[in-house]
Structure formats: C-alpha cells, structure tokens
Chain A
Amino acid sequence: MRALLLCLLAFSLAACTQRDTAGPPQASPTTMVAGAQNGGVAATAIVNFPNPGPFKLVEVNDPRYGKMECWQGRGESGQFGGTFRVSTFGGGPKTFNPWVASDVESSGLGLLLFEKLVDIDAWTGQPYPRLAKSISISPDKREYTITLRQGLKWSDGKPITADDVVFTFATIVARGYGNSSLRDTLSVYGKYPEVSKVDDLTVKFRTAVPFSPFLKMLPNVPIAPKHVVEPITKRPMEAFQGFWDINSDPKSLVVSGRFMLDRYVPGQRIELVRNPNYAMVDKQGRRLPYLDRFVYAIVPDQNTMILKFLGNELDFLDVRAVRGSDAAFMKQKEQSGNFRLYNLGPDDGTTFLILNMTRREDPKSKKPYVNPLKQKWFNNQYFRQAVSHAINRQRMIDNVLRGVGIPLYTPETIASLYFNKKLKPYPQELDTAAKLLEQGGFTKRGDRLYDSEGHPVEFTLHTNAGNSTRDGVCVMIADELKKLGMKVNYQAIDFNTLIDKTNQSLDWEAIVMGLSGSKTEPQDGANVWKSDGRLHMFDQRLPNEQGKVIVTDAREWEKRIDRLFDLAATSFDEKKRHEYFDEFEEIVYNQLPFIYLYSILDITAARNTIGNYTPTPLGVFYTPLGSLHNLEEIYFKKARQ
C-alpha cells in the first residue's frame, strides 16, 4: 500500500521529481536505484510466441447460414462466454463512422467493428487476405485481383460482396467522403488506383504505376456496407459527417467485425457484443469470437486505469497504459494480482530533438524564419553531430523512462522490419562532441562556446507542457549541452502552440517531440521525409497561396532521400527495397536532421485467466484492439459470469 501511495504521489509530482533525477552525472545513486528497481521489467525478454503459420481456409456448412468459407483460428481451442473488460485513455471516440475518423480513439473503435479486406500478419508483418480469400498481382505489378470469401455476411444478415468493396474504394474513398487522407495513402504520384468489379466476389485494383506499399495501405480502409451507406452518399457531402456520429443509435451500425456496437455510455464506456455473423472458426469448427461481450471503459487518467486494473475492474491493460514510472511497481504486483507483464519491445513511435534548419525568409514579412546566426549553427553538420554525441540516451532512459525504453539513432526502430543493422549505437562522448565542434569552426572559451564569428551559442528548446517525460528529457539535454558550452533555454509550451510553430509560424529553434511510425512499412514516413512533406519538420516548406509546396532549396541529401522513397515505393524487389531504406537510414544517421533519442517499450499486463493472449511486436494496433491481434480467439480459462 505504501509503495502504491509513493508511486501515485510520484505521478502527481512527476515534473519536480524528474527535474531532480535529471541532475548532474554525479548523482549516480539515483541512476542506480532507478535502474535496479526496473531491471525486472525492462530485462524481461521481448515476447516471442512461435509463429503458427498462415491461416487455414475451411468450409463450413451451417444450416442457418449456408455454405461459407471461414478462416480457422491459430490458437488453442478455448471456452465461450464472458465479458472482456479493458479501457482506453482519453475522452472517448469522436464518431462511430470509421471513414470520418481522424483520431486514434475513433479509428480504434473502427478496428473492432470492421473487418479489413487485407490485414497485416502479426508475426510476419506481411499483408494477407482477411475478408478476402486470395490476392494475386499481375506481372506488370500494377493490377491486384482480390477475391472475397464465400458466404460472408454483414451483421444484419446481408451478404458481403464485391459491390461493397467497389463502393468503398470507388465512392467513399475516391470521392473523399469523411477523412480524405485515406485517398492519399492509396495514391501514388497523386493518382488514385482504378477499382472495378470482376464478379460478385472479385475486385480488381489498378495503380497508375507499380506501387509496392499498396497492399500494406489497404488495411487503413474499412469496407462499408453499400446497402446502408449508399443512400447517404447521394445526399450533400456534409451529411456524411453526421452519419453514424457519436449521437446516433449504436444498434443502427451494420458491421463486419468481431463485435457489434451495443451501447455507448458517454464519458464512461463502450459496450460491444459478439457478432454472430463473424466468419471465423476455431480448430473444432466452432464460430468465433469466444467472448460474449467486449467492454471498454473510457478513462481520462492513466493512474485511474491502473488502479481499476489492480482493483479487478479490468482484465487487461494494453500498450501505453503502463508507463515506465509504473512498470516497477506493477512488476511487484504480478503475483498478488494474478497477472503477468508482457514486453512487446520498442514502440513504433520515436522521440527526437530537431533543430530548425530553415534557411528561407517569411514571404510576408521578408524576415528570415530563423535568426541567420543560428541558421548557420543548425545547418552545420558537425554541430548536429556534436549535439547527438553529447546526449546520454541510456541515462535518459534509466532516469526518465525508468528503464522502459531503448536508445534510438535512426528513423527506424530496432523493431522495424527495415531497421539498418549496420548503424551502430554510440555512447555519450563529450570529447568526440568537443572535437566535432572544433572541426565545425566553434571554439570554447571558458564555460561558453563561440561560433567562428565570435557569437556565443545560445538557443531555446521547446517541448509540449504537461508531459513529464519530455520535460525530464529536455532538462537533461540542456544540462548535457551546457557541458559543451552551449546555453540552452528550456521552455515547455502548450502542445497546440508547439504544433503551430512547427507547422505554420516556423518560429522555433529547437524542439523535442515524438511521432508515430510503422514497424512494417517505412513508406508511412514519406510525409515526414519527402522534402515537400507536410511534417518535414526540420525544414518545413509551407504551401503557397495555391496550396502547392514548391521546393527550391533542397539539400543534396534531401534530394537523395526523396529519390530513395520514390524508388522504394515503386520497387517490388524486397532486397532492393531494403537497400533503399538502408541508405535512407544511413543518411539520416550521418546528417542528423532528426536527432533521435529513444523509443519506449510497449508493456502490457494481462490477467492469467486470459487464454490465447499471444502478443507479438508487430501485431500492435490502435487501442482497444492494441496487442489483441487475435481478439476473436481470446477467452477466459474459467468463463466468468
């Protein structure tokens, strides 16, 4: 009990505590204590359940449903029944309409309700047919023929056919109903693929040029029931926003996923109930899912979430619920709470430091976005390398993340399928950093560092306020850079203000931020890495009045990265793709436009009564699906009432 109290007090006072622990290196006892406490969790090996191989297609003849083709579950046979209780962190979904959803919570709900045409295998990270039965690609690599399984039904009993698929891609997505980003993820060179129906169960996609990430992008689009959604698309476009919005009757949703929406209790929870028409069976041929109900509480505060789990009001805590500061404490409770912590390895998200390398001037005020003096420093490769070498990433992880993270040096984490293994991590080396600065034309006199023109090096570092982890990280960075003679003025600002700075005003010098990524497809980062990308944050180029981004001052290596992304997008040769992405990572490793710091480890906690929980590092989705990639096979070992 006392440990819990201390732990909770620590959350509340997190900002102060972290300032303390992030002190000078002499404070090694703190480091040791923090490390020792958490060795338990971080040292736990990353989950490694054996790959059961691809799904098997079985034909089921159900007198009530007729003949249908089902995928067979890959786990052990379980028991039916029970209510699975989880929770998500935040304010709840903003809409039930998965095509409008642009936030994590609404998209997360969509994952439970809608089955994908093609999904990503949790073990291999490769696309496989889900609603579909087979996928074939034409020799010119531009045409995809996708055949649906036979006998599939919507939750209202109507058949799922090629018409639904064509309607989804040719009407909802192509015309830009709801969140028009779906269209962009599938487009290549701004051209959206053609979709056509071949027969009742077969559709054809044809891309403008060969586009290798195409199949990996398909899971972003939930397939819509044409008979329900089509009438809405005949009305003015705005009507689509209000369709299946948060105030609509949950039972009116027609879905294809494992569960149907049963009830939404605003601000409290979402209750889902088993979809009897879901076409998957277990090894004994029984229709999945095993669970009767899936209920997830909407909790605004992570501490409450953990307390609810410990109080046995939840069966499971998914990724991002257990933070570094909670992990050690949770580890102690494993026995008494009858649960186990799982380490899923590094998250796909990255945390990094960026220096504003923009060299242009504001077209309106005719003033440079960044002080020309500082532009020179930030654009000096030696300067960026020195900063990177001066940062003690491991100590950051020990102190701020309490050991639950791994140091990061490249845009792809070690969990990524495309991680370049040749790029070695380096420890904090202040001597190397000092030498690099000398090579870059900087000189240190006394405690301060001066550039070649004699100006003292001083800049402002921002991060978003209210995030105690990033707060601690920034204090540590400022402290380390002080040893090189740089004066870093750290100031936390509101998240929205921060985004305005990076996206619009460009009035910033250094920022610590995070971005989500993908472990299976680096192409997801094109928005960040292409020189005209919308999140090319280290040198953001703004759209002109026509909304076009015109790049006039790309550096040689930026152009090379543009080219590498284009090459990788159009190549189907996996070996070649690896080479392209390896080169991209190497450029970033050397040029350091993003100075990567760390990735957190994904930790989950599951009650020991849960059967078939086999999380994998690649099978992590938006919560509440989260690491439950085989949710249909999850069961209670002793079905609870």
Chain B
Amino acid sequence: MSIPVYILKRVLQAIPLLIIISIMSFIMLKLAPIDPLAYLRANPAISAQAIKAEEERLGLNKPPVVQYFIWLSNLVRGDLGVSTTGGSVFLLLMQRAGNTLLLSILTIFFTWMIALPAGVWAAVNRGQWVDKFFGIFTTIGMSMPTFLMALLLLMAALATRLLPIGGLTSPDFFERDFLGQALDLAQHLVIPVTVLTFIGLAGIQRQVRGNLLDVLRAEYVRTARAKGLPEDKVIYRHALRNAINPLITLFGFEFAALLSGAALTETVLAYPGLGRLTLEAVLTKDMNLVMAALMLGAVMLIMGNLLADILLKLVDPRITLE
C-alpha cells in the first residue's frame, strides 16, 4: 500500500473513532455532578431570572442528547460554539495555542537533544559513574511532582533575581524592539522549559539506554566490531539505527502532546497556555471549551500515531504498511 492511500485510510478510520470519543467525553462531562452556573448561584447579587436567562443562552435547559447534537452539528459547520464565560471557543483556543506550541516545541527540542546523547552515553558506559549519575538524575525527574519543581525554580528565581517570576511577557513587552521582545520571551521561558524538559527527559533517556543496550548485545554489532569498524560507527550507524524504532513511537506521543499543554506547570507558573485554559474550563464545566480541548487532544493523538507509523516505514524498510 502506498503512503498516500495509507494516510487516507487512516483518516477515514479516525472519523468514527472521533465520534465515539466525543460521545464518551460528552457523557462523562454530563455525568459529572458539576453545575456550570454554580458561581452565579452562590452569588447573592445575582437574581433567579438572570440565572434562568443564562441557562437558556447556553442551552443548559435542553435534554443532554439534544445538547450533544447541537454541539455536533455546529462542529460539522466548523463552529466550536461559545464558552460559558463569553467569547468564541475557537478564538480562545487560538489565543493560547501559539504560547503552548512555543513551550512544547522548545521542550521537545531540549528533551531529545539531551536525552539521546545522554542515553547513548549511559548505555555505552553501562554500570560506570555516568550511567549511575543519569540513573539517579532521571529517577528524580520521574518521581518529582511538576508543581513542586516549578515552585522550587520560582523560589530560585526570586532568590537570585535573575529570572522573572511566572508569565510569558513583561508589562513593557509591547514597547520593546524585536530583540528586546525575543530576550524577554527567552527569559520567561527558561523556567517552564526547564521544568518540562527535566520531567520529560527521564522517560526518554531510559528508553534510549534500554534499547541501545539490547541492540549492543546483537550479533550484527559483534560482527561490526569484529570487522574492525571504529566504535563511533558501530554505535551510531549500526546500533542506534536499530534501536530507534520504539523511540519513534514515543515521538508520536510527544507530538500528540504538542497542543495539550501542561496544566499544572502552566498554572503554577502563570503561563498562558492551553493546559491552564482547559483546566479552568473543566473546573467550571465549560462544556464547549472542554469538548473542543478534548477533541483537539484526540485529533493530535491520532495524527501523532499516524506520523510515527509513517516515520517508522521510512526509517525501517522491514515494516510494511498493512
């Protein structure tokens, strides 16, 4: 099967999958005993009529099945609806998407740039201090809660006064020239990127190390060494090339997370990303916004998997697309 046909097939398969995901998400959200208007109800200054008007405006007085079909038919027409907080969901997502993308891409870049060589290094020097050091380092990364790490770095920033505390831009951002703006962004990004890289690093470094160790025991590596190839070539041309397949799958997952954001880190660091927006929406049961965020996540996951499969095919000729 050629690649374009394969892509088309996968896209067609994705449609029923997305519908099922949307139905399940919708049911779960509806089952959650959360009232999107609770804050209005608890406010003595809001009248009963005002609450009723709001229910009608958001369609909350209709049966859930009807609400779902309204949502679906709007979606098909490309309309993501309005948020309970006012404003179009599409615009709300767009405002934050850029910030999250910036953070995710930098994080993925640094994670892989560090994890790949570190994994190789640890595998080659198995059992030596480098390996042990990374072992401890990644254990900390895997076990440390993200919010704690974020808070610790914020306190370090406060103590040293070297980095800004939270946010993405300074109040005078728009008065600066291009270079100044870039510098300001970079300063604000250091802490969130460090937190997410440190956390993400752990899994990938271990995966690289583990896979490479498996491959290094393979016979063709022994053959390569036996025929006198330099060690560099043995590792990077022969061993790593064969160890990379599971990593591509992992990369597919990372791609899926590009737009999901990291809700906890974003909240602690006051980072204006999609994760924080979604978390706030879930807590107030902002149906249209949560549904849009969930569907976006589902689409990204499907795309990420597809991308990984195609990359696998390109990297490893033994794989057939069937």
Instruction: Please give the residue numbers on chain A whose beta carbons come within 8 Å of chain B beta carbons, in ascending order.
Output: 1, 4-5, 8, 12, 83, 85, 91, 94-95, 100, 102-103, 176, 179-181, 183-185, 220, 238, 241-242, 245-247, 263, 265-269, 271, 293, 295, 297-301, 303-304, 307-308, 310-311, 313, 494-500, 503, 515-517, 524-525, 527-528, 534-535, 543, 547
Contact = CB atoms under 8 A, between A and B. Distances in A.
A136 B43 CA distance: 32
Contact of A308 (B34, B46, B166, B172): B166
Contact of A534 (B36, B47, B91, B268): B47
B295 interface: no
Given A304-B166, A311-B165, A266 B86 contact: no
Given A91-B280, A180-B53, A268-B272, 5 more contacts: A179-B46, A301-B267, A496-B34, A534-B44, A535-B44
B33 A497 contact: yes
B73 to A, nearest CB: 19
A246 B87 contact: yes
Given A304-B268, A494-B33, A535-B44, A245 B166 contact: no
20 contacts: A4-B155, A12-B147, A91-B280, A95-B86, A181-B45, A185-B45, A246-B85, A246-B86, A265-B173, A298-B270, A300-B267, A303-B151, A304-B165, A311-B161, A311-B165, A313-B164, A499-B42, A500-B35, A516-B44, A528-B44
Contacts of A267: 95-96, 99, 271-273, 276-277
Interface string B16-52: 0000000000000000011110111111111111101
Contacts of B42: 495, 499, 515, 535
Contacts of B280: 91, 300
Contact of B272 (A266, A293, A497): A266
A532 B317 CA distance: 76
A386 B251 CA distance: 64
Contacts of B268: 301, 303-304
B164 A304 contact: no
Interface in B79-121: 85-88, 91-92, 95-96, 99
B269 interface: yes
B270 A94 contact: no
B310 to A, nearest CB: 34
Contacts of B91: 247
A300 B171 contact: no
B177 to A, nearest CB: 16
Contacts of A308: 165-166
A532 B164 CA distance: 52
Contact of B38 (A307, A500, A534): A500
Contacts of A313: 164-165
Contacts of B165: 304, 307-308, 311, 313
Contacts of B173: 265
Contacts of A242: 86
Contact of B39 (A103, A246, A307): A103
B270 A247 contact: no
Which residue of A183, A265, A517 has the most chain B CB atoms within 10 A of its CB atom?
A265
A310 B35 CA distance: 37
B169 A265 contact: yes
A184 B45 CA distance: 9
A296 to B, nearest CB: 9
Contact of B155 (A1, A85, A268, A547): A1
Nearest to A185: B45
Interface string B277-301: 1001000110000000000000000
B102 to A, nearest CB: 13
Given A269-B171, A301-B268, A527 B44 contact: yes
A300 B91 CA distance: 20
Contact of A271 (B48, B99, B171): B171
Contacts of A528: 44
A269 B272 CA distance: 10
Nearest to A298: B270
Contacts of A83: 171-172
B72 to A, nearest CB: 22
Interface in B143-183: 147-148, 151, 154-155, 157-159, 161, 164-169, 171-174
A102 B33 contact: no
In the complex, the 4 A-B pairs of residues with the closest C-beta atoms, listed nearest first = A267-B272, A94-B85, A496-B38, A499-B38
